[in-house]
């Protein structure tokens, strides 16, 4: 179909049935259902349809096949609803740990000039990174050049301190993790300076979305029915993921969070239903 959709930045992009079908598959339906939903969507397309409107149409269509969709935000929106601190930082620290990194959160690094507070030290495959975590409430906001330049400056200061024998910890690379995409300038600078920049869909094989979907590490903020105050209490008790909530003991969790037991039981059941019906169906 030669229909163009309108992206969040106002630019036009050719409609892709493949993208619609991939969205459906990520929500746990089979290929036949994905094709059926795509055909249904295409009957309502019009020139310039906004991408967020298209996503809403997909979700409404999927509710027929996956009732759990009704109580979930899509992952990108769910992440944007997080509190930057401590929720998003804890989520990323957890995500890195679940994807093979040895993570030490919230560290102070001594540089030759000053000390630097970083969000984590992460080690994997004999490479040691310091990690800067950047959250945007608007998930179409680009992460710009400033974060990359700051990360480079920190790395140089810490590396100089190590070279002078003032510290024992050798930091090999800088890592920036964000829930959005990087600007063109930031991408070019990061590549030139060997900074690992993890964004929503970059790098291709190890981006935020793929790290979440491969291991089903969906955050609590994707549950529509979970109020902010309750979510904050859960986060403060170390429950960051829907998967974690589904595995909790209701009595113990109610005691720790000071939430009513009946509310906690209802939340745990919703978490279990979301995991079982929506994501584990494709294992």
Task: Look at residue 278 in the predicted model and tell me its pLDDT.
Answer: 45
Q: What is the DSSP letter of 206?
A: S
In angstroms, the CA 182 to CA 36 distance is 34
Task: Look at residue 253 in the predicted model and tell me its pLDDT.
Answer: 97
Helices (H) and strands (E) in the chain, counts: 12, 8
Q: Which of 56, 52, 82, 98 is nearest to 220 (CA)?
A: 82
Task: Look at residue 65 in the predicted model and tell me its pLDDT.
Answer: 75
Task: Look at residue 282 in the predicted model and tell me its pLDDT.
Answer: 37
Task: Look at residue 281 in the predicted model and tell me its pLDDT.
Answer: 37
Q: Tens-of-pLDDT digits for all 283 residues of the chain?
A: 578 888 877 888 899 999 888 888 877 678 888 898 899 889 889 998 988 888 888 888 887 777 666 666 778 889 999 999 999 999 999 999 999 999 999 999 999 999 999 999 999 999 999 999 999 999 889 999 999 999 999 999 999 999 999 999 999 999 999 999 999 999 999 999 999 999 999 998 889 999 998 888 999 999 888 999 999 999 999 999 999 999 999 999 999 999 999 999 999 998 987 776 544 333 3
In angstroms, the CA 181 to CA 279 distance is 25
In angstroms, the CA 237 to CA 221 distance is 15
Domains and CATH numbers, the chain: 4-65 (no CATH), 84-214 (3.40.1350.10), 219-282 (1.10.150)
148 contacts 176 by C-beta, under 8 angstroms: yes
Sign of CA dihedral 12, 18, 141, 53: positive
Alpha-helix runs per DSSP H in 172-260: 184-192, 208-214, 228-236, 242-246, 250-257
User: 115 burial class (0-12, 13-18, 19+ CB within 10 angstroms)?
Assistant: exposed
pTM, entire model? 0.80
User: 6 burial class (0-12, 13-18, 19+ CB within 10 angstroms)?
Assistant: middle
Q: Which of 111, 200, 207 is nearest to 150 (CA)?
A: 111
Q: Which residue do the tokens 């993890």 mark?
A: 198
209 contacts 215 by C-beta, under 8 angstroms: no
In angstroms, the CA 121 to CA 129 distance is 6
67 contacts 24 by C-beta, under 8 angstroms: no
């Amino acid at each position: 179909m030669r229909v163009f959709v309108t992206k969040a930045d106002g630019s036009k992009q050719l409609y892709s049935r493949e993208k619609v079908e991939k969205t459906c598959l990520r929500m746990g339906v089979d290929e036949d259902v994905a094709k059926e939903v795509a055909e249904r969507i295409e009957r309502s397309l019009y020139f310039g349809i906004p991408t967020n409107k298209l996503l809403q149409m997909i979700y409404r269509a999927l509710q027929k096949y996956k009732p759990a969709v009704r109580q979930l935000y899509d992952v990108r929106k769910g992440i944007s609803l997080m509190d930057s601190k401590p929720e998003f930082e804890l989520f990323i620290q957890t995500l890195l740990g679940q994807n093979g990194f040895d993570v030490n959160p919230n560290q102070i690094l001594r540089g030759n000039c000053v000390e630097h507070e970083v969000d984590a030290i992460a080690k994997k495959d004999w490479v040691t990174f310091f990690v800067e975590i950047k959250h945007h409430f608007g998930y179409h906001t680009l992460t710009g050049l400033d974060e990359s330049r700051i990360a480079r400056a920190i790395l140089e200061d810490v590396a100089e301190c190590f070279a002078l024998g003032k510290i024992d910890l050798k930091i090999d690379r800088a890592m920036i993790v964000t829930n959005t995409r990087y600007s063109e300038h930031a991408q070019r600078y990061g590549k030139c300076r060997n900074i690992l920049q993890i964004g929503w869909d970059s790098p291709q094989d190890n981006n935020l979305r793929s790290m979440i979907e491969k291991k089903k590490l969906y955050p609590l903020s994707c549950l529509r029915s979970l109020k902010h105050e309750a979510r904050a209490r859960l986060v403060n008790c170390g429950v960051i993921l829907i998967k974690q909530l589904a595995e909790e003991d209701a009595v113990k969790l109610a005691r720790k969070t000071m939430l009513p037991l009946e509310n906690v039981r209802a939340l745990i059941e919703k978490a279990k239903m979301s995991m079982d019906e929506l994501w584990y169906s494709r294992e």
